[in-house]
Copies of this chain bind each other. A is one copy, B any other.
């Protein structure tokens, strides 16, 4: 399977699982609609791809892999809704479509984000799996990446550094929390979902995830200044305009490209020892530094 095929496979699989899992009745129709609007907005599903690709290093992905991929994507979707709010990044456009608070309203967007966070823990705690210890490990991994130890702290560091000079070290600290933690969780949960219990494997996977997570962010900063608004599906120079610290600002455009390539190579070195099944993970690393949107 090449990356395009793998991407299609992972997208279809996680979308089907999300769709089925969300279909239960709720008496607040607009809440459900806003949750769906943000979950199914044409996202690339990079995190679910990672979860499936890692699981399949070891065995066939199972329903706990589906729940893990879906839970990670729900956390990601909630974070985008809240990040886009007027009090945060104040973005009107996301993947070429109105952001949740523009399509609905601010209150609905706040609540849809809140409910999507809970939904992630709903997915992982479903009684039908009857695998309490694996499920609890998955929940530990996800919560630790999502809240004060991970993503929310990253967003807080980000917001408090707008218009401030930021060192390379601080920028990395911010990204490792804001986006890196969830990418690491997506990778780890892939292995946890199929019962991997080998510390050395987890160390390699963690190093892979850590490197591609940062590479993803460096590339994001690069394409913010090299791609136009139409290609991006969001406003070009949005980071530049918000006066946010970026890798190209600190390292120059070429320096940022060199860093992205180094991180890519580190990532690839961690997973090639897993053999032929590592191809999607290698191709994902290639994609991350080659993409222009």
Contact = CB atoms under 8 A, between A and B. Distances in A.
Interface of A: 24, 26-28, 30-32, 35, 78, 82, 85, 87-88, 105-108, 110-111, 113-115, 117-119, 121-122, 125-127, 132-133, 135-136, 139-140, 143-144, 146-149, 152-153, 155-157, 159-160, 173, 177
- Report copies per complex: 2
A140 B123 CA distance: 10
A152 B119 CA distance: 11
A27 B87 contact: no
Contact of A30 (B24, B113, B121, B160): B160
Contact of A139 (B82, B139, B144): B139
* The 3 A-B residue pairs with the shortest CB-CB distance in the complex, in nearest-first order: A118-B147, A87-B106, A28-B156
A152 B122 contact: no
Nearest to A122: B143
Contact of A119 (B121, B127, B148, B159): B148
> How would you classify the secondary structure of chain A's contact residues: helix, strand, loop or mixed?
helix
**Among A30, A88, A118, A126, which residue has the most Cβ atoms of chain B within 10 A?**
A118
A90 to B, nearest CB: 10
B160 A28 contact: yes
